Structure 1
Protein backbone atom coordinates (compact mmCIF):
# COMPACT_ATOMS: atom_id res chain seq x y z
CA UNK A 1 0.00 0.00 0.00
CA UNK A 2 1.26 3.46 -0.85
CA UNK A 3 1.81 6.15 1.78
CA UNK A 4 -1.39 7.93 0.70
CA UNK A 5 -3.44 4.82 1.49
CA UNK A 6 -4.10 3.66 -2.07
CA UNK A 7 -3.35 0.19 -3.35
CA UNK A 8 -1.12 0.22 -6.45
CA UNK A 9 -2.55 -1.42 -9.55
CA UNK A 10 -1.11 -4.85 -10.21
CA UNK A 11 0.95 -5.54 -13.31
CA UNK A 12 -1.07 -6.66 -16.33
CA UNK A 13 -1.65 -10.41 -16.24
CA UNK A 14 -1.07 -12.76 -19.12
CA UNK A 15 -3.85 -15.10 -18.03
CA UNK A 16 -7.53 -14.26 -18.15
CA UNK A 17 -9.23 -13.30 -14.90
CA UNK A 18 -13.01 -13.07 -14.56
CA UNK A 19 -14.81 -10.94 -12.00
CA UNK A 20 -18.45 -9.94 -11.78
CA UNK A 21 -20.32 -7.34 -9.73
CA UNK A 22 -24.00 -6.66 -9.13
CA UNK A 23 -25.43 -3.42 -7.85
CA UNK A 24 -28.14 -2.00 -5.60
CA UNK A 25 -29.23 -4.81 -3.24
CA UNK A 26 -32.45 -6.22 -4.73
CA UNK A 27 -34.08 -9.41 -3.44
CA UNK A 28 -33.44 -10.98 -6.88
CA UNK A 29 -29.72 -10.96 -6.06
CA UNK A 30 -30.34 -14.39 -4.52
CA UNK A 31 -31.43 -15.76 -7.89
CA UNK A 32 -28.40 -14.19 -9.53
CA UNK A 33 -26.08 -15.67 -6.90
CA UNK A 34 -27.47 -19.15 -7.61
CA UNK A 35 -26.55 -18.77 -11.29
CA UNK A 36 -23.03 -17.65 -10.42
CA UNK A 37 -22.63 -20.69 -8.19
CA UNK A 38 -23.88 -23.01 -10.93
CA UNK A 39 -21.02 -21.93 -13.17
CA UNK A 40 -18.38 -21.47 -10.42
CA UNK A 41 -18.06 -17.71 -10.98
CA UNK A 42 -17.13 -15.29 -8.20
CA UNK A 43 -19.19 -12.17 -7.55
CA UNK A 44 -19.26 -8.94 -5.59
CA UNK A 45 -22.67 -7.56 -4.56
CA UNK A 46 -22.69 -3.79 -4.01
CA UNK A 47 -25.56 -3.10 -1.65
CA UNK A 48 -27.23 0.12 -0.52
CA UNK A 49 -29.15 -1.28 2.46
CA UNK A 50 -31.74 1.55 2.49
CA UNK A 51 -31.87 2.16 -1.26
CA UNK A 52 -34.52 4.82 -1.89
CA UNK A 53 -34.95 3.63 -5.50
CA UNK A 54 -36.12 0.16 -4.42
CA UNK A 55 -39.31 -0.42 -2.46
CA UNK A 56 -38.54 -1.75 1.03
CA UNK A 57 -40.27 -5.06 0.27
CA UNK A 58 -38.05 -5.50 -2.81
CA UNK A 59 -34.75 -4.77 -1.07
CA UNK A 60 -32.44 -7.62 -0.15
CA UNK A 61 -33.08 -8.02 3.61
CA UNK A 62 -30.30 -8.35 6.20
CA UNK A 63 -30.66 -12.13 6.29
CA UNK A 64 -30.26 -12.19 2.51
CA UNK A 65 -27.10 -10.10 2.75
CA UNK A 66 -25.69 -12.46 5.38
CA UNK A 67 -26.63 -15.43 3.21
CA UNK A 68 -24.64 -14.06 0.27
CA UNK A 69 -21.64 -13.42 2.51
CA UNK A 70 -21.88 -16.93 3.95
CA UNK A 71 -21.90 -18.32 0.38
CA UNK A 72 -18.49 -16.68 -0.18
CA UNK A 73 -19.69 -13.76 -2.27
CA UNK A 74 -18.10 -10.42 -1.50
CA UNK A 75 -20.36 -7.75 -0.01
CA UNK A 76 -19.43 -4.25 -1.16
CA UNK A 77 -20.87 -0.88 -0.14
CA UNK A 78 -23.00 1.33 -2.39
CA UNK A 79 -23.77 4.15 0.08
CA UNK A 80 -26.66 3.94 2.53
CA UNK A 81 -29.55 5.18 0.36
CA UNK A 82 -28.14 5.16 -3.23
CA UNK A 83 -28.10 8.88 -3.94
CA UNK A 84 -25.83 10.38 -6.59
CA UNK A 85 -22.89 11.73 -4.64
CA UNK A 86 -22.29 14.89 -6.73
CA UNK A 87 -25.86 15.97 -5.94
CA UNK A 88 -25.13 16.02 -2.20
CA UNK A 89 -23.15 18.47 -0.08
CA UNK A 90 -19.67 17.10 0.53
CA UNK A 91 -20.28 16.37 4.20
CA UNK A 92 -23.53 14.55 3.48
CA UNK A 93 -21.84 12.51 0.77
CA UNK A 94 -19.22 11.38 3.27
CA UNK A 95 -21.96 10.38 5.72
CA UNK A 96 -23.70 8.35 2.99
CA UNK A 97 -20.46 6.54 2.16
CA UNK A 98 -19.52 5.88 5.78
CA UNK A 99 -22.93 4.82 7.11
CA UNK A 100 -23.52 2.44 4.21
CA UNK A 101 -20.24 0.73 5.07
CA UNK A 102 -20.99 0.61 8.78
CA UNK A 103 -24.48 -0.83 8.32
CA UNK A 104 -23.24 -3.63 6.07
CA UNK A 105 -20.41 -4.44 8.48
CA UNK A 106 -22.96 -4.65 11.27
CA UNK A 107 -25.04 -7.08 9.23
CA UNK A 108 -22.22 -9.33 8.03
CA UNK A 109 -19.82 -9.04 10.95
CA UNK A 110 -16.96 -8.56 8.48
CA UNK A 111 -14.99 -5.63 7.10
CA UNK A 112 -16.38 -4.10 3.88
CA UNK A 113 -13.50 -2.78 1.80
CA UNK A 114 -15.00 -2.41 -1.71
CA UNK A 115 -17.28 0.41 -2.82
CA UNK A 116 -19.29 1.29 -5.92
CA UNK A 117 -20.23 4.87 -6.81
CA UNK A 118 -24.04 5.06 -7.23
CA UNK A 119 -24.88 5.45 -10.93
CA UNK A 120 -21.15 5.84 -11.54
CA UNK A 121 -21.37 9.50 -10.51
CA UNK A 122 -18.45 10.89 -8.52
CA UNK A 123 -15.75 13.57 -8.36
CA UNK A 124 -12.19 13.68 -7.08
CA UNK A 125 -13.61 14.69 -3.68
CA UNK A 126 -15.52 11.42 -3.47
CA UNK A 127 -12.46 9.39 -4.42
CA UNK A 128 -10.64 11.04 -1.52
CA UNK A 129 -13.54 10.41 0.86
CA UNK A 130 -13.76 6.76 -0.14
CA UNK A 131 -10.04 6.33 0.55
CA UNK A 132 -10.19 8.14 3.91
CA UNK A 133 -13.20 6.10 5.05
CA UNK A 134 -11.20 2.93 4.55
CA UNK A 135 -12.09 1.43 1.20
CA UNK A 136 -9.35 -0.25 -0.81
CA UNK A 137 -11.31 -0.45 -4.06
CA UNK A 138 -14.07 1.57 -5.70
CA UNK A 139 -15.84 0.51 -8.88
CA UNK A 140 -17.09 2.84 -11.60
CA UNK A 141 -19.45 2.15 -14.51
CA UNK A 142 -16.82 2.87 -17.16
CA UNK A 143 -16.85 -0.03 -19.63
CA UNK A 144 -14.91 -1.59 -22.52
CA UNK A 145 -11.67 -2.37 -20.71
CA UNK A 146 -9.72 -5.57 -20.11
CA UNK A 147 -7.56 -3.81 -17.55
CA UNK A 148 -8.78 -3.10 -14.00
CA UNK A 149 -7.58 0.51 -13.92
CA UNK A 150 -6.87 2.49 -10.72
CA UNK A 151 -8.09 0.71 -7.56
CA UNK A 152 -10.38 3.59 -6.53
CA UNK A 153 -11.69 4.08 -10.07
CA UNK A 154 -12.02 0.47 -11.16
CA UNK A 155 -12.92 -0.05 -14.82
CA UNK A 156 -15.27 -2.70 -16.20
CA UNK A 157 -15.70 -4.61 -19.44
CA UNK A 158 -19.40 -5.24 -20.12
CA UNK A 159 -22.71 -4.23 -18.57
CA UNK A 160 -25.53 -6.79 -18.72
CA UNK A 161 -27.62 -4.28 -20.67
CA UNK A 162 -27.80 -3.23 -24.32
CA UNK A 163 -26.55 0.36 -24.48
CA UNK A 164 -27.88 2.22 -27.50
CA UNK A 165 -24.83 4.48 -27.56
CA UNK A 166 -22.59 1.53 -28.42
CA UNK A 167 -22.95 1.62 -32.20
CA UNK A 168 -19.42 2.95 -32.86
CA UNK A 169 -17.99 0.47 -30.33
CA UNK A 170 -19.74 -2.45 -32.01
CA UNK A 171 -18.45 -1.34 -35.39
CA UNK A 172 -14.87 -1.19 -34.10
CA UNK A 173 -15.10 -4.51 -32.30
CA UNK A 174 -16.50 -6.16 -35.46
CA UNK A 175 -13.61 -5.04 -37.64
CA UNK A 176 -16.11 -2.97 -39.68
CA UNK A 177 -18.18 -6.05 -40.57
CA UNK A 178 -21.70 -4.68 -40.58
CA UNK A 179 -23.58 -7.91 -39.81
CA UNK A 180 -21.29 -8.69 -36.88
CA UNK A 181 -21.51 -5.08 -35.69
CA UNK A 182 -25.31 -5.25 -35.68
CA UNK A 183 -25.24 -8.44 -33.62
CA UNK A 184 -22.84 -6.97 -31.05
CA UNK A 185 -24.87 -3.78 -30.90
CA UNK A 186 -28.25 -5.43 -30.41
CA UNK A 187 -27.24 -8.26 -28.09
CA UNK A 188 -25.23 -7.53 -24.97
CA UNK A 189 -24.67 -11.26 -24.45
CA UNK A 190 -22.89 -11.50 -27.81
CA UNK A 191 -20.80 -8.46 -26.90
CA UNK A 192 -19.89 -10.03 -23.54
CA UNK A 193 -18.82 -13.30 -25.17
CA UNK A 194 -16.80 -11.34 -27.74
CA UNK A 195 -14.92 -9.48 -24.97
CA UNK A 196 -14.35 -12.71 -23.03
CA UNK A 197 -12.78 -14.36 -26.08
CA UNK A 198 -10.51 -11.34 -26.42
CA UNK A 199 -9.50 -11.74 -22.78
CA UNK A 200 -8.72 -15.43 -23.29
CA UNK A 201 -6.45 -14.56 -26.18
CA UNK A 202 -4.76 -11.45 -24.77
CA UNK A 203 -5.02 -11.88 -21.02
CA UNK A 204 -6.38 -9.31 -18.62
CA UNK A 205 -9.50 -8.85 -16.52
CA UNK A 206 -12.97 -9.53 -17.90
CA UNK A 207 -15.44 -7.67 -15.66
CA UNK A 208 -19.18 -8.24 -16.14
CA UNK A 209 -21.62 -6.19 -14.05
CA UNK A 210 -25.31 -5.40 -13.86
CA UNK A 211 -28.47 -5.33 -11.75
CA UNK A 212 -30.66 -8.32 -10.96
CA UNK A 213 -33.80 -6.17 -11.05
CA UNK A 214 -32.90 -4.89 -14.52
CA UNK A 215 -32.28 -8.39 -15.82
CA UNK A 216 -35.75 -9.34 -14.56
CA UNK A 217 -37.40 -6.24 -16.03
CA UNK A 218 -35.90 -6.87 -19.48
CA UNK A 219 -36.44 -10.62 -19.45
CA UNK A 220 -32.70 -11.20 -19.78
CA UNK A 221 -32.15 -14.19 -17.49
CA UNK A 222 -31.60 -16.49 -20.48
CA UNK A 223 -29.04 -14.08 -21.95
CA UNK A 224 -27.24 -13.87 -18.62
CA UNK A 225 -27.12 -17.64 -18.21
CA UNK A 226 -25.80 -18.01 -21.75
CA UNK A 227 -22.89 -15.69 -20.88
CA UNK A 228 -22.18 -17.36 -17.53
CA UNK A 229 -22.24 -20.82 -19.11
CA UNK A 230 -19.72 -19.62 -21.71
CA UNK A 231 -17.29 -17.98 -19.31
CA UNK A 232 -17.62 -20.29 -16.30
CA UNK A 233 -15.95 -23.52 -15.19
CA UNK A 234 -12.75 -23.06 -17.21
CA UNK A 235 -9.43 -24.38 -16.01
CA UNK A 236 -7.47 -21.64 -17.80
CA UNK A 237 -9.37 -18.80 -16.12
CA UNK A 238 -8.99 -17.36 -12.60
CA UNK A 239 -12.30 -16.34 -11.00
CA UNK A 240 -12.05 -13.55 -8.44
CA UNK A 241 -14.17 -11.10 -6.50
CA UNK A 242 -13.58 -7.40 -7.08
CA UNK A 243 -11.62 -7.20 -3.81
CA UNK A 244 -9.25 -9.91 -4.97
CA UNK A 245 -8.23 -7.75 -7.92
CA UNK A 246 -6.22 -5.65 -5.45
CA UNK A 247 -4.58 -8.61 -3.72
CA UNK A 248 -1.27 -10.20 -4.72
CA UNK A 249 -1.51 -13.17 -7.05
CA UNK A 250 -0.40 -16.36 -5.31
CA UNK A 251 1.26 -18.78 -7.76
Structure 2
Protein backbone atom coordinates (compact mmCIF):
# COMPACT_ATOMS: atom_id res chain seq x y z
CA UNK A 1 0.00 0.00 0.00
CA UNK A 2 1.28 3.48 -0.90
CA UNK A 3 1.64 5.71 2.14
CA UNK A 4 -0.10 9.08 2.23
CA UNK A 5 2.07 12.09 1.32
CA UNK A 6 3.54 13.95 4.25
CA UNK A 7 2.30 17.32 2.93
CA UNK A 8 -0.77 17.94 0.76
CA UNK A 9 -1.97 21.24 -0.69
CA UNK A 10 -5.55 21.88 -1.80
CA UNK A 11 -7.52 25.02 -2.62
CA UNK A 12 -11.24 25.74 -2.92
CA UNK A 13 -13.28 28.75 -4.05
CA UNK A 14 -16.92 29.43 -3.31
CA UNK A 15 -20.14 30.79 -4.77
CA UNK A 16 -19.82 30.79 -8.59
CA UNK A 17 -19.04 34.43 -9.44
CA UNK A 18 -18.10 35.81 -12.86
CA UNK A 19 -14.62 36.57 -11.47
CA UNK A 20 -13.92 32.87 -10.84
CA UNK A 21 -12.18 32.49 -14.25
CA UNK A 22 -9.68 35.20 -13.25
CA UNK A 23 -8.88 33.21 -10.12
CA UNK A 24 -8.73 29.99 -12.14
CA UNK A 25 -6.16 31.57 -14.46
CA UNK A 26 -3.97 32.31 -11.43
CA UNK A 27 -4.24 28.71 -10.28
CA UNK A 28 -3.27 27.57 -13.78
CA UNK A 29 -0.28 29.91 -13.77
CA UNK A 30 1.07 28.19 -10.67
CA UNK A 31 -0.16 24.71 -11.65
CA UNK A 32 -2.34 24.42 -8.59
CA UNK A 33 -5.54 22.37 -8.40
CA UNK A 34 -8.76 23.94 -7.25
CA UNK A 35 -12.30 22.98 -6.36
CA UNK A 36 -14.96 25.55 -7.28
CA UNK A 37 -18.11 25.28 -5.18
CA UNK A 38 -20.92 26.77 -7.23
CA UNK A 39 -24.51 27.71 -6.41
CA UNK A 40 -25.75 28.08 -10.01
CA UNK A 41 -28.71 30.33 -9.10
CA UNK A 42 -27.07 32.18 -6.21
CA UNK A 43 -29.62 34.67 -4.85
CA UNK A 44 -26.88 36.83 -3.33
CA UNK A 45 -25.64 37.82 -6.80
CA UNK A 46 -27.39 39.72 -9.56
CA UNK A 47 -27.87 37.44 -12.57
CA UNK A 48 -25.06 39.21 -14.43
CA UNK A 49 -22.68 38.42 -11.54
CA UNK A 50 -23.33 34.68 -11.61
CA UNK A 51 -20.97 32.46 -13.54
CA UNK A 52 -22.83 31.33 -16.65
CA UNK A 53 -23.41 27.72 -17.64
CA UNK A 54 -20.75 28.14 -20.32
CA UNK A 55 -18.36 29.51 -17.70
CA UNK A 56 -19.06 26.58 -15.40
CA UNK A 57 -18.40 24.12 -18.23
CA UNK A 58 -15.10 25.84 -19.03
CA UNK A 59 -14.01 25.67 -15.38
CA UNK A 60 -15.01 22.00 -15.23
CA UNK A 61 -12.54 21.20 -18.00
CA UNK A 62 -9.67 22.28 -15.73
CA UNK A 63 -10.88 22.03 -12.12
CA UNK A 64 -13.21 20.12 -9.85
CA UNK A 65 -16.74 21.53 -9.57
CA UNK A 66 -18.50 21.09 -6.23
CA UNK A 67 -22.05 21.62 -5.04
CA UNK A 68 -23.00 24.68 -2.96
CA UNK A 69 -26.82 24.31 -3.04
CA UNK A 70 -28.95 25.78 -5.81
CA UNK A 71 -29.50 29.32 -4.52
CA UNK A 72 -27.03 29.71 -1.60
CA UNK A 73 -29.61 29.97 1.15
CA UNK A 74 -28.71 29.49 4.81
CA UNK A 75 -29.49 25.84 5.39
CA UNK A 76 -30.34 26.03 9.13
CA UNK A 77 -33.13 28.50 8.29
CA UNK A 78 -34.82 25.99 5.99
CA UNK A 79 -37.04 23.02 6.74
CA UNK A 80 -35.46 19.61 6.23
CA UNK A 81 -37.45 19.15 3.02
CA UNK A 82 -36.42 22.55 1.63
CA UNK A 83 -32.78 22.04 2.61
CA UNK A 84 -32.74 18.61 0.99
CA UNK A 85 -34.16 20.08 -2.21
CA UNK A 86 -31.59 22.91 -2.25
CA UNK A 87 -28.76 20.41 -1.82
CA UNK A 88 -30.11 17.90 -4.34
CA UNK A 89 -31.19 20.34 -7.05
CA UNK A 90 -27.93 22.29 -6.91
CA UNK A 91 -26.04 19.09 -7.58
CA UNK A 92 -28.40 18.02 -10.34
CA UNK A 93 -28.10 21.34 -12.17
CA UNK A 94 -24.31 21.30 -12.02
CA UNK A 95 -24.22 17.74 -13.32
CA UNK A 96 -26.56 18.71 -16.16
CA UNK A 97 -24.25 21.61 -17.05
CA UNK A 98 -20.94 19.78 -16.81
CA UNK A 99 -21.97 16.28 -17.80
CA UNK A 100 -19.86 14.90 -14.94
CA UNK A 101 -20.56 13.62 -11.42
CA UNK A 102 -20.43 16.22 -8.62
CA UNK A 103 -19.40 14.54 -5.37
CA UNK A 104 -17.98 17.37 -3.20
CA UNK A 105 -20.12 19.91 -1.36
CA UNK A 106 -19.61 23.12 0.63
CA UNK A 107 -22.14 24.35 3.20
CA UNK A 108 -23.20 27.93 2.33
CA UNK A 109 -21.54 30.29 4.82
CA UNK A 110 -20.42 27.15 6.64
CA UNK A 111 -23.82 26.96 8.36
CA UNK A 112 -25.50 23.60 8.86
CA UNK A 113 -27.14 21.36 11.42
CA UNK A 114 -26.10 17.78 12.29
CA UNK A 115 -29.13 16.49 10.43
CA UNK A 116 -28.12 18.37 7.30
CA UNK A 117 -24.84 16.46 7.21
CA UNK A 118 -27.00 13.40 6.67
CA UNK A 119 -28.98 15.20 3.95
CA UNK A 120 -25.74 15.99 2.12
CA UNK A 121 -24.73 12.35 2.24
CA UNK A 122 -28.18 11.22 1.10
CA UNK A 123 -27.91 13.60 -1.87
CA UNK A 124 -24.91 11.61 -3.09
CA UNK A 125 -22.00 13.69 -1.85
CA UNK A 126 -19.00 11.88 -0.38
CA UNK A 127 -17.14 14.95 0.92
CA UNK A 128 -18.35 18.26 2.36
CA UNK A 129 -16.27 21.29 3.27
CA UNK A 130 -16.95 23.65 6.16
CA UNK A 131 -15.48 27.12 6.79
CA UNK A 132 -13.66 26.12 9.97
CA UNK A 133 -10.10 27.43 9.77
CA UNK A 134 -6.80 26.89 11.50
CA UNK A 135 -6.36 23.16 10.86
CA UNK A 136 -3.75 21.06 9.09
CA UNK A 137 -5.92 17.96 9.49
CA UNK A 138 -8.99 17.58 7.26
CA UNK A 139 -11.08 15.67 9.79
CA UNK A 140 -14.38 13.98 8.98
CA UNK A 141 -15.09 13.70 5.25
CA UNK A 142 -18.52 15.35 5.52
CA UNK A 143 -17.30 18.16 7.81
CA UNK A 144 -13.95 18.96 6.27
CA UNK A 145 -11.88 21.60 8.07
CA UNK A 146 -9.65 24.17 6.32
CA UNK A 147 -6.44 26.02 7.09
CA UNK A 148 -6.62 29.63 5.87
CA UNK A 149 -9.30 31.83 4.30
CA UNK A 150 -8.16 34.47 1.80
CA UNK A 151 -9.63 37.12 4.07
CA UNK A 152 -8.41 38.76 7.27
CA UNK A 153 -10.67 37.73 10.15
CA UNK A 154 -10.57 40.02 13.15
CA UNK A 155 -11.60 37.16 15.44
CA UNK A 156 -8.35 35.32 14.74
CA UNK A 157 -6.33 37.10 17.43
CA UNK A 158 -6.03 34.05 19.73
CA UNK A 159 -5.06 31.85 16.76
CA UNK A 160 -2.38 34.34 15.67
CA UNK A 161 -1.01 34.57 19.21
CA UNK A 162 -0.83 30.79 19.51
CA UNK A 163 0.90 30.40 16.15
CA UNK A 164 3.36 33.14 17.06
CA UNK A 165 4.36 31.33 20.24
CA UNK A 166 3.36 34.33 22.33
CA UNK A 167 5.56 36.79 20.39
CA UNK A 168 3.37 39.93 20.13
CA UNK A 169 4.91 41.46 17.00
CA UNK A 170 4.72 38.20 15.09
CA UNK A 171 1.16 37.70 16.29
CA UNK A 172 0.21 41.20 15.12
CA UNK A 173 1.65 40.52 11.66
CA UNK A 174 -0.28 37.25 11.34
CA UNK A 175 -3.44 38.84 12.71
CA UNK A 176 -3.45 41.84 10.37
CA UNK A 177 -2.71 40.14 7.03
CA UNK A 178 -4.17 36.85 5.84
CA UNK A 179 -1.32 36.29 3.38
CA UNK A 180 1.20 36.39 6.24
CA UNK A 181 -0.96 33.88 8.12
CA UNK A 182 -1.11 31.64 5.03
CA UNK A 183 2.65 31.69 4.46
CA UNK A 184 3.27 30.97 8.14
CA UNK A 185 0.80 28.07 8.16
CA UNK A 186 2.22 26.58 4.97
CA UNK A 187 5.78 26.70 6.30
CA UNK A 188 4.56 25.01 9.47
CA UNK A 189 2.88 22.34 7.35
CA UNK A 190 6.19 21.71 5.56
CA UNK A 191 7.84 21.14 8.94
CA UNK A 192 5.12 19.12 10.63
CA UNK A 193 3.19 17.52 7.78
CA UNK A 194 -0.54 17.68 7.11
CA UNK A 195 -3.00 19.21 4.67
CA UNK A 196 -2.73 22.91 3.82
CA UNK A 197 -6.17 24.05 2.62
CA UNK A 198 -6.56 27.58 1.25
CA UNK A 199 -10.04 28.82 0.34
CA UNK A 200 -11.86 32.00 -0.49
CA UNK A 201 -14.08 33.91 -2.89
CA UNK A 202 -12.97 35.58 -6.13
CA UNK A 203 -15.43 38.43 -5.62
CA UNK A 204 -14.12 39.10 -2.12
CA UNK A 205 -10.48 39.12 -3.26
CA UNK A 206 -11.46 41.63 -5.93
CA UNK A 207 -13.57 43.84 -3.64
CA UNK A 208 -10.69 44.16 -1.20
CA UNK A 209 -8.05 44.66 -3.89
CA UNK A 210 -6.09 41.59 -2.74
CA UNK A 211 -5.11 39.86 -5.97
CA UNK A 212 -1.43 40.58 -5.28
CA UNK A 213 -1.73 39.01 -1.81
CA UNK A 214 -3.37 35.95 -3.32
CA UNK A 215 -0.72 35.60 -5.99
CA UNK A 216 2.01 35.92 -3.36
CA UNK A 217 0.53 32.98 -1.46
CA UNK A 218 -0.02 30.85 -4.56
CA UNK A 219 3.57 31.43 -5.65
CA UNK A 220 4.80 30.47 -2.17
CA UNK A 221 2.90 27.18 -1.96
CA UNK A 222 3.33 26.03 -5.58
CA UNK A 223 5.85 23.67 -7.10
CA UNK A 224 7.32 22.27 -3.90
CA UNK A 225 9.15 18.95 -4.26
CA UNK A 226 7.60 16.14 -2.28
CA UNK A 227 4.28 17.99 -1.85
CA UNK A 228 1.09 16.43 -3.22
CA UNK A 229 -1.30 18.88 -4.93
CA UNK A 230 -4.92 17.69 -4.87
CA UNK A 231 -8.50 18.76 -5.42
CA UNK A 232 -10.85 18.62 -2.44
CA UNK A 233 -12.37 15.39 -3.79
CA UNK A 234 -8.93 13.80 -3.69
CA UNK A 235 -8.70 14.51 0.05
CA UNK A 236 -11.26 11.79 0.68
CA UNK A 237 -8.52 9.23 1.21
CA UNK A 238 -6.94 11.46 3.88
CA UNK A 239 -10.08 12.36 5.82
CA UNK A 240 -10.57 10.75 9.20
Report the alpha carbon displacement of residue 240 of structure 1 after superposing the two structures with TM. Answer: 0.2
Task: Kindly indicate whether residue 93 of structure 2 is the aligned counterpart of residue 93 of structure 1.
Answer: no
Report the alpha carbon displacement of residue 247 of structure 1 after superposing the two structures with TM. Answer: 3.8
Q: Match of 1:208, SS?
A: strand
State whether residues 5 and 227 of structure 2, in contact with CA within 8 Å, keep that contact through their aligned partners in structure 1: no
Q: Match of 2:45, SS?
A: coil
State whether residues 5 and 228 of structure 2, in contact with CA within 8 Å, keep that contact through their aligned partners in structure 1: no
Report the alpha carbon displacement of residue 13 of structure 1 after superposing the two structures with TM. Answer: 4.6
State whether residues 13 and 204 of structure 1, in contact with CA within 8 Å, keep that contact through their aligned partners in structure 2: no
Taking the aligned partners of 2:150 and 2:109, their CA distance within structure 1 comes to 15
Task: Kindly indicate whether residue 8 of structure 2 is the aligned counterpart of residue 17 of structure 1.
Answer: yes
Residue in 1 aligned with 2:141? 151
TM-score normalised per structure 2: 0.97
Taking the aligned partners of 1:169 and 1:133, their CA distance within structure 2 comes to 35
Taking the aligned partners of 1:232 and 1:142, their CA distance within structure 2 comes to 23
Q: 1:59 aligns with which of 50, 57, 66?
A: 50
Taking the aligned partners of 2:217 and 2:178, their CA distance within structure 1 comes to 9
Question: How large is the Cα RMSD of the aligned pairs?
Answer: 1.3
Q: Match of 2:142, SS?
A: helix
Report the alpha carbon displacement of residue 235 of structure 1 after superposing the two structures with TM. Answer: 1.8
Residue in 1 aligned with 2:26? 35
Taking the aligned partners of 1:181 and 1:78, their CA distance within structure 2 comes to 34
Task: Kindly indicate whether residue 220 of structure 2 is the aligned counterpart of residue 220 of structure 1.
Answer: no
Residue in 2 aligned with 1:69? 60
Q: Match of 2:198, SS?
A: strand
State whether residues 144 and 157 of structure 1, in contact with CA within 8 Å, keep that contact through their aligned partners in structure 2: yes
What is the aligned residue count?
237
Taking the aligned partners of 1:154 and 1:122, their CA distance within structure 2 comes to 13
**Which blocks of at least 5 consecutive residues in structure 2 are unaligned?**
none
Task: Kindly indicate whether residue 105 of structure 2 is the aligned counterpart of residue 105 of structure 1.
Answer: no
Q: 2:174 aligns with which of 173, 184, 202?
A: 184
State whether residues 76 and 113 of structure 1, in contact with CA within 8 Å, keep that contact through their aligned partners in structure 2: yes
- Structure 1 segments of 4 or more deviating over 2 A? none
**1:10-67 deviation line (CA, Å, top 9, x unaligned):** xx95611000000000010000000011111110000000000011101110111100
Q: 2:219 aligns with which of 208, 213, 229?
A: 229
Residue in 2 aligned with 1:6? none
State whether residues 14 and 202 of structure 1, in contact with CA within 8 Å, keep that contact through their aligned partners in structure 2: no
Report the alpha carbon displacement of residue 149 of structure 1 after superposing the two structures with TM. Answer: 0.5
Task: Kindly indicate whether residue 107 of structure 2 is the aligned counterpart of residue 117 of structure 1.
Answer: yes
Task: Kindly indicate whether residue 120 of structure 2 is the aligned counterpart of residue 130 of structure 1.
Answer: yes
TM-score normalised per structure 1: 0.92
